[in-house]
Amino acid sequence: MNILVVGGGGREHAVIKSLKKNNSVEKIYALPGNGGIARDAECYPVKATDVAGIVEFAKTHAVDFAVVTPDDPLVLGCVDALEEIGIPCFGPKKNAAIIEGSKVFSKDLMQKYGIPTAESRAFTDADEAIAYLKAGSFPAVVKADGLALGKGVVIAQTFEEAETAVREIMCDKVFGASGNSILVEEFLTGPEVSVLSFTDGKTVVPMISSMDHKRAKDNDEGLNTGGMGTVAPNPFFTEAVAKECMEKIFLPTVRAMNAEGRTFKGCLYFGLMLTPKGPKVIEYNCRFGDPETQVVLPLLKSDLLEIMLAVNKGTLTPDMVRFRNGAACCVVLASEGYPKSYQTGYELTLPETEENEHIFVAGAKKEGEKLLTAGGRVLGAVAAADTLKQAVEGAYALAEKIKFENAYMRKDIGKRALSAIR
């Protein structure tokens, strides 16, 4: 089979490496991929948001199956466009991808179907939102409705901060049309858990749970980033919590989407907060998380392509999705300065990896035989092991071997998870 993977980050690298384990895979095309992915797939410079370009590519390259991974092509209807020309896909159609594409939609869905989430109100008028905030308590959470490169959520400690956020999002349109509507939401507390799941619209099978580390600096300080590291499993997501989430969140969400005529097929990501009043949904994503995928897929024992084909055909069963015992840790190596300004173009040397070690490249380009850094987040150093402690040590040992100028990493990935186990 020839497979097309849309996207070009560390998550896509992890997906591609897992797909390659299936013997029936002949070629994997990555659009656009990156310099590191080029070691595992044929990369072509078609942007992940260029749906017409992706369709054109697929028409001329005998693609048997496509995996659309990033949020924006999904929200733009890339799966619909590929299926129209007869290419089966893994990923939700546009009418289901809205679960991530519009936070107002997903909030309405949760309220309508009784799925636990933070109290909130939607606004299309900045002055009304500001008047509402003035009468409320703090911290408060302000969220742009649409996609905002992961930056559309502001936790405002004071009224002034909230007002600034509303004006920037709704009046200055710092996220473009994504800020036409906003949500003002109750501030929740508790450990956060990411649960990626496979669903064909009938059956929903959660993958092993994980924990992201979103802030740039140790001890969860500094700016929000796309994710500086992950561990799986997440020790806060106990069996009892998993059961409760299945009954109150996972199944109701899949059923709600069906009831709305928006059957979701693909990877449905539940961003959860385990609050003192029980698990609540912080956000849905219509895709694999990044860098969660980099720790989840290395622990998957089953064949990823077979699962994806079953999701597409509507024949998914829980026994198809098996994880090994043990744990994994991903430490992200970024360019110093990320997520603000940073420099790129430094030579990157990657060591050989052992079994249970992976280097998933997120931001690098090839220049001749050399690999140069080309992004804020450059790569994830991943280790899987029998225990979380060994996985964390293994990921850091691997990260230490990777050399490029101006490399930066957090030193405490996995610390909170380890303290919860002890």
Contact call for residue 100 and ligand AMP (CB under 6 A): no
Contact call for residue 118 and ligand AMP (CB under 6 A): yes
Does residue 370 contact residue 349 with C-beta atoms inside 8 Å? Answer: no
Query: What is residue 304's DSSP assignment?
Result: H
Choosing among ligand AMP, ligand GLY, none, which partner's interface includes residue 285 (Cβ < 5 to 8 Å by kind)? ligand GLY
- Give residues with Cβ within 8 angstroms of 168, minimum separation 6: 174
Q: Rg (Cα) of the chain, in Å, rounded?
A: 21
Interface mask (CB under 6 A) for ligand AMP, residues 251-290, using x and -? --------------------x----------xx-------
The CA-atom distances, in angstroms, between 243 and each of 251, 348, 398 are 11, 44, 35
Choosing among ligand GLY, ligand AMP, none, which partner's interface includes residue 188 (Cβ < 5 to 8 Å by kind)? ligand AMP
Contact call for residue 285 and ligand GLY (CB under 6 A): yes
* Shortest distance, position 121 Cβ to ligand AMP, whole Å: 12
Q: How far apart are CA 29 and CA 37, in angstroms?
A: 10
Contact call for residue 39 and ligand AMP (CB under 6 A): no
Looking at the Cβ atoms of 34 and 178, the one nearer to ligand AMP is 178
Query: What is residue 347's DSSP assignment?
Result: B
Contact call for residue 156 and ligand AMP (CB under 6 A): no
Interface mask (CB under 6 A) for ligand AMP, residues 183-202, using x and -? --xxxx---x----------
* Shortest distance, position 15 Cβ to ligand AMP, whole Å: 20
Looking at the Cβ atoms of 53 and 271, the one nearer to ligand AMP is 271
Contact call for residue 290 and ligand GLY (CB under 6 A): yes
Contact call for residue 145 and ligand GLY (CB under 6 A): no
Contact call for residue 212 and ligand GLY (CB under 6 A): yes
Cis ω for the linkage preceding 291 (within 30 of 0): yes
Contact call for residue 38 and ligand AMP (CB under 6 A): no
Nearest to 168 by CA among 149, 185, 151: 151
Q: How far apart are CA 123 and CA 56, in angstroms?
A: 39
Nearest to 287 by CA among 110, 73, 128: 73
Contact call for residue 225 and ligand GLY (CB under 6 A): no
Instruction: Give the interface size with ligand AMP as a residue count (CB under 6 A).
Output: 14
Looking at the Cβ atoms of 30 and 153, the one nearer to ligand AMP is 153
Choosing among ligand GLY, ligand AMP, none, which partner's interface includes residue 289 (Cβ < 5 to 8 Å by kind)? ligand GLY
DSSP string, 28-52: EEEEE--TTGGGTSEE----TT-HH
Contact call for residue 12 and ligand GLY (CB under 6 A): no
* Shortest distance, position 192 Cβ to ligand AMP, whole Å: 6
Nearest to 72 by CA among 43, 42, 105, 50: 50
DSSP H helical segments within 86-218, as ranges? Answer: 94-101, 103-112, 126-134, 159-166
Looking at the Cβ atoms of 148 and 320, the one nearer to ligand AMP is 148
The CA-atom distances, in angstroms, between 279 and each of 161, 285, 358, 363 are 28, 17, 32, 34
Which residue is it, tokens 């990157």?
Answer: 348
Contact call for residue 169 and ligand AMP (CB under 6 A): no
Q: Between vectors from CA 44 to CA 1 and to CA 367, what angle results, nearest 5°? A: 125
Q: What does residue 410 show for φ and ψ, rounded to 5 degrees?
A: -75, 150
Binder of ligand AMP out of 147, 153, 204, 281 (CB under 6 A): 153
Instruction: Give the interface size with ligand GLY as a residue count (CB under 6 A).
Output: 7
Which amino acid would we find at residue 154?
A: V
Alpha-carbon torsion 402, 406, 407, 412, what sign? positive
Binder of ligand GLY out of 72, 200, 292, 357 (CB under 6 A): 292
Looking at the Cβ atoms of 25 and 155, the one nearer to ligand AMP is 155
Contact call for residue 72 and ligand AMP (CB under 6 A): no
Q: Is 221 helix (H, G, I), strand (E, B) or coil?
A: strand
Q: Please report, as ranges, the residues that interact with ligand GLY according to CB under 6 A.
A: 150, 212, 227, 285, 289-290, 292
Q: Please report, as ranges, the residues that interact with ligand AMP according to CB under 6 A.
A: 118, 141, 150, 153, 155, 185-188, 192, 214, 271, 282-283
